[in-house]
Amino acid sequence: MDNCIFCKIANEEIPSNTVYEDDNFRVILDIAPANPGHCLILPKKHTTNIFEIYSDLLGIVYKIEKKIASALKAALNAEGINILQNNGEAAGQSVSHYHIHVIPRHQRDNVTLNKEGKSLSSDEFSAIVDKIKAEL
Ligand code: 5GP
Ligand code: ZN
């Protein structure tokens, strides 16, 4: 993808604070971190989101999440880790190149990722269960 900033970073056309790299991924520090150590896992090959992710990645995405989360826990004494991956503008995706946020967390660090939940009736829950099940 010619105009994709994360393609350029992943393939070293633009420099980055890289913490890890292998054949499939580059892991960089987010330029505007939720907390110090906030990492982004970028596939080197362009793909936009979970709906288009190529099958070679499916088996290894969780492995790299675990590797980076474990390193952040050890290196930064993280007490918790958030793993977050936005798909589509409506979900807060601002860069259209698949990426996974790995965010180190500490007690009372004032990072607000968790929003208050909505209240649904039991009929509404049941209707949603039926709709989702019909697609599986
Ligand atoms: P999204 O909102 O798409 O899930 O996340 C995009 C993330 O990429 C944001 O957290 C933003 O700070 C980060 N970001 C955007 N542009 C750059 C960049 O050029 N370099 C780095 N390191 N991070 C970036
Ligand atoms: Zn890209």
pTM of the predicted model as reported, rounded to 2 decimal places: 0.95
| Residue in this structure with the two tokens 């918790």, named with its chain if needed | 80
**Is residue 90 in contact with ligand 1, taking CB distance under 6 Å?**
no
> 46, 97, 99, 106: which is the annotated catalytic residue?
99
The count of structural domains within the chain is: 1
pLDDT digits (tens, 9 = 90+) for 86-106: 999 999 999 999 999 999 999
Active site residue 99: yes
**Is residue 14 in contact with ligand 1, taking CB distance under 6 Å?**
no
Residue of 5, 30, 87 to mutate, ligand 1, most atoms within 8 A of C-beta? 30
| Residue range 113-120: mean pLDDT, rounded | 87
List the CATH number of the domain containing 59.
3.30.428.10
Q: Is the pLDDT of residue 1 over 90?
A: no
Residue of 31, 35, 47, 50 to mutate, ligand 1, most atoms within 8 A of C-beta? 31
Range of the domain at 17: 5-135
- Give the C-alpha separation, 50 to 23, whole Å: 20
Instruction: Report the half-sphere exposure of 75 (CA within 13 A, side-chain side).
Output: 14
pLDDT band of residue 115 (cuts 50, 70, 90) is confident
